[in-house]
């Protein structure tokens, strides 16, 4: 590909700044959203996640049907989606943050999150191109067709017409809307940052925007994602190339010339997130360097390696599968996020609930 343009650079940086600002301002981490539902029976952040998902389902499919973007639907890899998702879910509880959470918390001065980002990258890289590549290939070796397609969506089960698609979307979004309204979003208590309904709305709008921006300036509608962009950024720092030739996605995401380097649009997006979070944290007076004890750092290292492996195998993290992938109604993405949640609940039980019961 050719060199990067001002729009290429500006769109990725501005989107990353906005995402980081919104996540920090709303203290929004999907590890917390999933954990709180089982640990303290608090569904507040989970409803915020569902608001973002509902907006992205509608917005992304409108853009697709208008021909503005062409959504890429993930295949259904049953073993990869299930095992990868579950391992990722286990890991985020050990780390105390999800794929997006660890990036924005770096901007708050949390040293363990910086450690987690590095571990996340290492787990991703050894799975895509290192010693765990045979495991990746084995789990991805089984791809199951549904309703005659290897990239099945939920509406493919009922038919291929546009009418069927939007009936399915209407039913799903309607059900999500009923559940969200039970949380009384219009009377959410005021807080120092952003209330959960506002975070959900803003995150959903930014998610839809990312499909369009990635299509225009990257040439591929990858939308919001943290797994491959994390690998792309650090790989560029280490090798000068966002993806080595043996990377399984080297032919999917275009690389562009920046002097002697081969970069991707998402590489800039992901590093702007902690900067946006830093700006928000400074405004709120919440920035402070925090260095955890050694035993916590070891847990973070183990959990972040699990996150990297799980996200690489599953085809994405909590954002890449739980919002971006799920917004296409990909069956593979929906299975992956389901098992991310189940992995989260398992580790929450083992780490928090069971020790309390044993007292």
* Mean pLDDT computed over 308-316: 97
299: Cα within 13 Å, side-chain hemisphere: 14
Tokens of 269: 């997006």
Least confident segment among 1-10, 12-21, 327-336:
1-10
Q: Look at residue 321 and tell me whether its pLDDT is greater than 90.
A: yes
Tokens of 316: 């994405």
* Mean pLDDT computed over 57-72: 96
Query: Using CA of residue 304, residue 306, residue 309, residue 315, what is the dihedral sign?
Result: negative
Alpha helices in 66-195 (DSSP H): 78-79, 85-95, 99-106, 111-128, 133-140, 162-181
pLDDT for 62:
98
- Per-residue DSSP letters for 177-240? HHHHHTT-GGGPPP-SS--HHHHHHHHHHHHHHHHHHHHHHTSS---S-SHHHHHHHHHHHHHS
Tokens of 346: 């398992």
Q: Which residues, other chains included, contact 5 with Cβ-Cβ below 8 Å and sequence gap of 6+? A: 217
What are the extents of the domains in the chain? Answer: 6-357
**Which tens digits make up the pLDDT trace of 252-300?**
889 999 999 999 999 999 999 999 999 999 999 999 999 888 888 889 9
- Site of tokens 């698609």: 165
| Enclosing H/E stretch for 261 | strand 261-263
| Enclosing H/E stretch for 256 | strand 256-258
pLDDT for 4:
85
| Nearest-angstrom CA–CA distance, 25 and 286 | 10
Q: Are 336 and 150 in contact (CB under 8 A)?
A: no
Phi-psi region of 225 (alpha: psi -120 to 50; beta: other; left: phi over 0): beta
| Nearest-angstrom CA–CA distance, 279 and 71 | 32
Q: Look at residue 251 and tell me whether its pLDDT is greater than 90.
A: no
* Mean pLDDT computed over 169-191: 95
| Cα distances (angstroms) measured from residue 19 to each of 39, 77, 316 | 27, 29, 18
Beta-strand relationship, 256-258 and 261-263: antiparallel
Angle (deg, nearest 10), helices 196-217 and 44-65: 30
| Nearest-angstrom CA–CA distance, 9 and 26 | 26
pLDDT for 191:
85
Least confident segment among 243-257, 264-278, 313-327:
243-257
pLDDT for 1:
60
* Secondary structure class of 318 (helix, strand, coil): coil
- Give percent above pLDDT 70 in the chain: 99
Q: What is the residue-averaged pLDDT of the chain?
A: 95
| Enclosing H/E stretch for 355 | helix 354-357
* Mean pLDDT computed over 324-328: 97
* Secondary structure class of 208 (helix, strand, coil): helix
Q: Are 132 and 305 in contact (CB under 8 A)?
A: no
Name the DSSP class of 160.
S
* Secondary structure class of 329 (helix, strand, coil): coil
pLDDT for 257:
93
Q: Look at residue 196 and tell me whether its pLDDT is greater than 80.
A: yes
Q: Residue 149's beta-bridge partner residues?
A: 146
The pLDDT confidence band at residue 358, using thresholds 50, 70 and 90, is confident
In this structure, what is the dihedral angle of CA atoms 256, 262, 268, 274, given to the nearest 10 degrees?
170
**Which tens digits make up the pLDDT trace of 98-155?**
999 999 999 999 999 999 999 999 999 999 999 999 999 999 999 999 999 999 999 9
Q: Look at residue 182 and tell me whether its pLDDT is greater than 80.
A: yes
What does the angle CA 70 – CA 220 – CA 64 come to, to the nearest 5 degrees? 15
* Mean pLDDT computed over 312-327: 96
**Which tens digits make up the pLDDT trace of 204-237?**
999 999 999 999 999 889 999 999 999 999 999 9
Q: Residue 290's beta-bridge partner residues?
A: 110
pLDDT for 344:
98
- Site of tokens 């069927």: 164
pTM: 0.96
| Nearest-angstrom CA–CA distance, 168 and 317 | 25
Tokens of 88: 């990722």
Residue 249: CB atoms within 10 A of its CB come to 15
């Amino acid at each position: 590909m050719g060199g990067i343009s001002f729009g290429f650079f500006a769109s990725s940086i501005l989107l990353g700044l906005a995402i980081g600002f919104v996540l920090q301002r709303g203290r929004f981490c999907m590890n917390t959203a999933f954990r709180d539902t089982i640990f303290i029976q608090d569904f507040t952040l989970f409803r915020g996640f569902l608001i973002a998902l509902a907006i992205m389902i509608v917005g992304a499919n409108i853009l697709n049907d208008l021909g503005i973007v062409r959504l890429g639907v993930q295949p259904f890899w049953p073993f990869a989606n299930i095992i990868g998702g579950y391992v990722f879910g286990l890991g985020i509880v050990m780390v105390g943050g999800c794929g997006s959470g660890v990036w924005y918390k770096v901007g708050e001065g949390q040293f363990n999150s910086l450690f987690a980002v590095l571990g996340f990258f290492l787990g991703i890289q050894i799975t895509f191109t290192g010693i765990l590549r045979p495991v990746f290939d084995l789990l991805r070796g089984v791809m199951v067709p549904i309703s005659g397609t290897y990239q099945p969506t939920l509406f493919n089960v009922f038919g291929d017409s546009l009418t069927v698609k939007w009936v399915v979307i209407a039913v799903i979004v309607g059900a999500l809307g009923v559940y969200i309204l039970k949380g009384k979003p219009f009377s959410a208590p005021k807080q120092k940052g952003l209330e959960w309904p506002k975070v959900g709305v803003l995150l959903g709008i930014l998610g839809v925007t990312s499909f369009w921006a990635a299509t225009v300036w990257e040439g591929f509608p990858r939308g919001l994602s943290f797994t491959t962009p994390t690998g792309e950024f650090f790989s560029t720092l280490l090798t000068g190339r966002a993806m080595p030739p043996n990377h399984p996605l080297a032919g999917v995401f275009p690389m562009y010339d920046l002097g002697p380097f081969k970069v991707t649009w998402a590489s800039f997006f992901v590093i702007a997130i902690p900067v946006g979070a830093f700006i928000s944290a400074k405004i709120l007076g919440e920035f402070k360097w925090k260095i955890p004890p050694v035993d916590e750092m070891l847990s973070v290292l183990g959990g972040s390696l699990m996150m990297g492996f799980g996200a690489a195998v599953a085809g994405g993290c909590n954002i890449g599968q739980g919002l971006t992938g799920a917004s296409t109604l990909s069956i593979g993405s929906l299975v992956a996020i389901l098992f991310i949640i189940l992995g989260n609940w398992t580790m929450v039980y083992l780490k928090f609930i069971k020790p309390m019961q044993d007292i």
